[in-house]
Amino acid sequence: MAVPPPLEKQTGIVTVGDGTLSISSVPVPPVSSSSILVRTCAVALNPSDYKVPTRLRVSGHLAGGDFAGVIVAVGSAVASSDRPRCKPWVVGDRVFGAVHGCNPTNPQSGAFAEYIDADPAILTRIPQGWDWYKAAAFGGICVGAVALALYKEIGLALPPQVDVEKDVDSAVKVAHSLASNDDLGRTVLVYGASTACGTMAIQLLRLSGYIPIAVCSSHNNAMVSSYGAASVFDYHSPSCAADIKTATKNQLRFVLDCIGTAQSTALCYAAIARTGGRYVSVERYPESAAMRKLVQGSWVMMLDMFGRGVDMKGGYDRKVDPAARDLGRRLFAGLEMLAQDEDIRPHPMRLVRSGSSWAESVLAGIDMLQKGQVSGEKLVVEIRV
């Protein structure tokens, strides 16, 4: 069933060969048998929206990852069985999710457009009471990356709403051999806790029965605590790593780094227990900062959840990862229940309005991100077709 878009062309934001983005007229993507066409109502911005184009340096690829909108067409082969506990997709459903923007293997895949070719497995229905902005701020890039880090890489227990393959009656279970039933064994450090990935990680950890402790700038302490952080440490403090070791009695084993710089990696490694542990970053981190043999480090890309591999220069290429794809399918189905029950919420949102069009607002917001002018907020832009 479909309500076809009124035009063959649409406004989109595409990559330029010099690593920047520009506004362009692009084709409305066709609806394949296995995809869903979404009319975009709002998009959210991420640091990857300016980082990835600088790595690709090609022209004409649609950019953007996070979005919210309404379904206008459902592919004939889209199966409801891919979404346990959820109703089948129908035209008119209000949804949020993510797509693989700046995609060399599919240049028409990107959220910064008026119509989006969406993956049915990486979508979630918008709960009643949520507006487009709140839904776009939730999106899918951050929650996907965090879930891969916590559940696939570290091996922590899934929230029961996501662990749909099992009969789970409690979120408090420990899936990793290093964890124990005491509070210290269930403690997970989130560095960069005031980012959108950070607040998402804190909430998922709470839902899974773990105790998140946070590292961020002190002016974001109250916000981070409101999302569920048990304690907060200031990364500006020269004793930050030592303070964490004292608070955790030198028993911290699990760390999620939402920044991935030399500074953040070094601090995280220093905070981990003397006996070692796991460090995972949502960014590719400098290996020169990972100096401890007893700490196992790795990094994730949310794009693995699309199940098609990633073709990108500079060490960012990825092979198809079936386990990541399966986690994505389960995660976005489970998010429908979590969001509906208000067990999880997006990052604080700021609406960007600049220039004479939504596309100019997106470019202005990306410029703000690139210049470091955003802290503790998710930038969102309304799209009117």
How many CB atoms within 10 Å of residue 18?
A: 10
What pLDDT band is residue 383 in, cutting at 50, 70 and 90?
very high
For residue 175, pLDDT over 70 is answered with: no
Are 58 and 20 in contact, with CB atoms under 8 Å apart?
no
Q: Determine the Cα–Cα distance for residues 343 and 345; give it in Å rounded to an integer.
A: 7
pLDDT digits (tens, 9 = 90+) for 114-124: 999 999 999 99
Task: Pick the more confident residue, 164 or 375.
Answer: 375
What pLDDT band is residue 149 in, cutting at 50, 70 and 90?
very high
For residue 173, pLDDT over 50 is answered with: no
Q: What is the pLDDT of residue 196?
A: 98
Gyration radius (Cα) of the chain, Å? 20
Q: What is the pLDDT of residue 181?
A: 54
Element (H, E) at 73: strand 66-74
Q: What is the pLDDT of residue 172?
A: 36
Domains of the chain: 9-139+338-382 (3.90.180.10), 143-300 (3.40.50.720)
Q: What is the pLDDT of residue 80?
A: 65
What pLDDT band is residue 229 in, cutting at 50, 70 and 90?
very high
| pTM (predicted TM-score) | 0.92
Task: For residue 315, give both structure tokens.
Answer: 């060490």
For residue 167, pLDDT over 80 is answered with: no
11-25, 70-84, 126-140, 292-306: segment of lowest average pLDDT: 70-84
Task: Pick the more confident residue, 102 or 85.
Answer: 102
Task: Count CA atoms closer than 13 A to 253's CA, side-chain side.
Answer: 17
Q: Determine the Cα–Cα distance for residues 280 and 189; give it in Å rounded to an integer.
A: 11
CA dihedral (28, 42, 145, 322) in degrees, to 10, reads -30
Element (H, E) at 25: strand 21-27
Q: What is the pLDDT of residue 125?
A: 96
Strands 277-281 and 295-299 turn out to be: parallel
For residue 81, pLDDT over 70 is answered with: no
With DSSP H G I counted as helix, E B as strand and the rest as coil, what are the percentages for the chain, rounded to 5? 30, 20, 45
For residue 57, pLDDT over 80 is answered with: yes
Q: What is the pLDDT of residue 255?
A: 99
For residue 68, pLDDT over 90 is answered with: yes
Q: Determine the Cα–Cα distance for residues 65 and 301; give it in Å rounded to an integer.
A: 13
